Amino acid sequence: MQPKLKQLVNKGLLWQGRQTHYQEQRFLSTGHTSLNELLGGGWQFDAVHEWQLDSPFIEQKLLWPLLEQLHEMNQPIFWLNPPALLSAAGLRWRLKQADSLHIVLNTSAKEAAWAFEQILQSGAGIAFLWQPESENQSSYVRRWQKAVQQGHQMGFVLTALEETVEARAYTNRLRLHTSHKVDVLKRRYGWPVNNISL
């Protein structure tokens, strides 16, 4: 590097990017090849991902492939404020075992945010949080990102689609549509992309 550029970098006046190597990071497949490629390999560990849903329960197309992989890994799964009661019989039929599922119901937004952070920080398992975006303060999201990097896990925040979406520190932000299309609003390895078929 040229001496003048090096001086600017050392003073913090110039930022130097670096090449990220995918093989240094761990991923779980999204279950969809095109989405895996766009996300740099799939769902990244040490990251918090946001799914914005334009109607309830459309997350199933992304959720089931992920749950099946987590089940094969014997990974504990935490559900915080899911939108409906989960069917233990249905989960047992689909996953053959539901012993590693932990469900927290009817907690306040603040309590759910705190519990989500504790799960991510402890590395106890993968956590899913259903909560309105308006309740997910940007300070919460920054804390979740720090927590997930300490615990070396991944977390998912599922929100309803809202008119005004503020910038947040999520690693990936996806908008899921009822037409089985996904918009990648934010991703670590590139620009936003719309209308990906699942």
Of 188, 191, 169, 192, nearest in space to 21 by CA: 188
Q: Give the pTM.
A: 0.85
Three-state SS string over 56-113 comes to CCCCHHHHHHHHHHHHHCCCCEEEECCCCCCCHHHHHHHHCCCCCEEEECCCCHHHHH
Tell me what the pLDDT averaged over the chain comes to.
87
How would residue 98 be classed by pLDDT, with cut points 50, 70 and 90? Answer: low
- How many structural domains comprise the chain? 1
Indicate whether 13 belongs to any domain.
no
Q: What is the pLDDT of residue 3?
A: 84
Q: What is the pLDDT of residue 164?
A: 63
C-alpha 154: how far from its chain's center? 6
How would residue 116 be classed by pLDDT, with cut points 50, 70 and 90? Answer: very high
Query: Domain containing 95 — which CATH number?
Result: 3.40.50.300
Range of the domain at 40: 25-197
Indicate whether 3 belongs to any domain.
no
How would residue 149 be classed by pLDDT, with cut points 50, 70 and 90? Answer: very high
Mean pLDDT throughout 105-122? 95
Indicate whether 10 belongs to any domain.
no
Q: What is the pLDDT of residue 172?
A: 95
Indicate whether 12 belongs to any domain.
no
Alpha-carbon distance of 101 to 71, in angstroms, equals 10
Among the ranges given (23-27, 32-36, 83-87), the one the predictor scored with the smallest mean pLDDT: 23-27
Mean pLDDT throughout 41-49? 95
